[in-house]
Amino acid sequence: MNRRDILRIGGLGLCGVGALDLIQAQAESSANNAKAKQMIVCWLGGGPPHTDMFDLKPDTSEDYRGIFNPIDTKVPGLQVGELLPEMAKRADKYTVIRSVTTMNKPGDHAQAPLYWLTGNPRLTTGSDEYPMYGSVVNKLRPGPADLPTFVVLDEIDVHTHNALSRNFLGSAHSPFVMQPLKDKDAITKMLTPQLELPAFARNTDLLKTLDTRLRRNDTQDEVIAGLDQYQQTAFNLLRSPKLRQALDISKESAESLERFTRNKPSKARYPIGDPLHFLLARRLIEAGVPIVHFNLGYWDWHGENFVAGKQQIPMFDACLAALLDDLDDRGLLDSTIVLALGEMGRKPKIDKPKETNAGRDHWDYAQFVIAAGGGFNRGCVVGATDKHGEQVTDKFYKIESFGRTLYHLLGIDADTLVHTPANRPVKLIVEDAPIIKEAIS
């Protein structure tokens, strides 16, 4: 029995995380020797076309294979789409998973993102949503005290809102959602001192002098006990230059920036996201932020699949390749998981193949996941799909397996019991499933 249990059972500590929680969590984190210390999730919302990118089917008829040809990669036997030349050259850095899918249970934009990003298919009954991996890391294994643990770059869109924002661990474990590339972004400003440091120090001194009341029963209530801890952490974060420096991309050379921006299309059919989020993610990882998530535009290409492909895939190719290079050069790739995935694939059979707005519809039975670093194999392909890329034929795994593999690499037991605010015990990933052993070393 520990104090947390006492409070929880007592009904007082039903919500949130207190000082003691943090201390315990930090102790747990130092005790484990996880392969992955950090993680970047590049979310390709809407569902990128797997048969145009990482699961090509050149032997199918024209109304399936589309217009993009396969090219060889550094890994013998692995081919990718011709719009991914940089990723082809770096195929020895990552694993392509072709056999994890929601099987449409549930699929589609509304529910599949939650499934992928939490490892749980359903909403909990009568409670908020399951927590995303980053929120769990924030609760069980928070990062350095002067940095946020879970950062989401750019706005959370309607489809990932469920998975990323509210969850039953409480708002204390929600991500910092910010848009550092926008001058006026309030959250970025909130994380950067609005005063010069000496003035800030003067203010906090005054605060210390004035804030002397209500300090008698600190130890009795978890919320109250946490106040000082939160204040300390927040002020440390503001005083520390780490985050500010990480977000300041003016320090990057023009050459470095160009590696990310060079394939940015001047005009695009769908939202494309910001290539510099790859760079910011790398800088945040370098600074020590454990989990960074960003949504890279929109890949729901029902119409003009091939037009959009020419616009968005080359940018994705250049950016992800540069990110992998940078992390590897800095020795960070082996301890940082890098994921690129969306909630589904796209239908191998083309809609209106002869027309200019030929598109690919939803496909919830096959897709790709790029997984690099943090214990994922280098130069590896897991699973296979049938002749058309419609159904998984080899090494099928459920999303639960994918989620459990991430937790395994992050050194977190996916069977850890957490409690909903209504005090129902729930495992991080409810259903038991094997980890994807073929993908990890």
Q: Is 183 in the site for another protein (CB under 8 A)?
A: no
Q: Is 201 in the site for another protein (CB under 8 A)?
A: no
Q: Choose, by CB under 8 A, the member of 182, 215, 262, 437 that binds another protein.
A: 215
CB within 8 Å of 84: residues ≥ 6 apart: 53, 54, 71, 313, 316, 317
Closest CA to 394 of 64, 97, 107: 97
Least gap, CB of 392 to another protein (angstroms): 21
Q: Is 413 in the site for another protein (CB under 8 A)?
A: no
Q: Is 174 in the site for another protein (CB under 8 A)?
A: yes
Residues between 143 and 162 with contacts to another protein, criterion CB under 8 A: 148
Q: Is 196 in the site for another protein (CB under 8 A)?
A: no
Tokens describing residue 233: 């952490």
Q: Find out whether 402 and 116 touch, Cβ atoms under 8 Å.
A: yes
Residues between 101 and 130 with contacts to another protein, criterion CB under 8 A: 123, 125-128
* Nearer CB in complex with another protein: 310/427: 427
d(CA 22, CA 18): 6
Residues between 216 and 255 with contacts to another protein, criterion CB under 8 A: 216-217, 220-224, 226-227, 230-231, 233-235, 237-238
Q: Find out whether 56 and 70 touch, Cβ atoms under 8 Å.
A: yes
Tokens describing residue 222: 């978890």
Strands 336-341 and 345-346: unpaired
Q: Find out whether 21 and 38 touch, Cβ atoms under 8 Å.
A: no
Q: Choose, by CB under 8 A, the member of 23, 110, 201, 207 that binds another protein.
A: 207
Task: Write the single-letter amino acid at 213.
Answer: R
Q: Is 12 in the site for another protein (CB under 8 A)?
A: yes
d(CA 303, CA 336): 35
Q: Choose, by CB under 8 A, the member of 193, 273, 297, 389 that binds another protein.
A: 193
* Nearer CB in complex with another protein: 68/176: 176
Least gap, CB of 126 to another protein (angstroms): 4
d(CA 321, CA 329): 12
In a 3-state reduction of DSSP, which class is residue 197?
A: helix
| Residue 132 CA to its chain's centroid (Å) | 9
d(CA 438, CA 441): 8
Q: Which stretch binds another protein (CB under 8 A): 273-281, 328-336, 384-392, 423-431?
A: 423-431
* Nearer CB in complex with another protein: 194/250: 194
d(CA 42, CA 260): 14
Q: Choose, by CB under 8 A, the member of 62, 74, 158, 189 that binds another protein.
A: 189
* Nearer CB in complex with another protein: 234/262: 234
Least gap, CB of 110 to another protein (angstroms): 13
d(CA 412, CA 414): 6
Q: Is 414 in the site for another protein (CB under 8 A)?
A: no
Q: Is 182 in the site for another protein (CB under 8 A)?
A: no
Can you state the angle between helices 19-31 and 3-10, rounded to 10 degrees? 140
d(CA 115, CA 400): 8
* Nearer CB in complex with another protein: 165/357: 165
x/- string (CB under 8 A) for another protein, residues 254-283? ------------------------------
d(CA 25, CA 48): 37
* Nearer CB in complex with another protein: 195/248: 195
- Work out the end-to-end distance of the chain between its first and last CA atoms, rounded to an integer number of angstroms: 36
**Number of residues near another protein (by CB under 8 A):** 71
Q: Choose, by CB under 8 A, the member of 166, 310, 349, 388 that binds another protein.
A: 166
Q: Choose, by CB under 8 A, the member of 61, 62, 201, 202 that binds another protein.
A: 202
Q: Is 5 in the site for another protein (CB under 8 A)?
A: yes
- Count H helices and E strands in the chain, helices first: 16, 16
* Nearer CB in complex with another protein: 150/363: 150
- For residues 206, 208, 209, 211, the Cα torsion angle rounded to the nearest 10 degrees is 110
* Nearer CB in complex with another protein: 317/400: 400
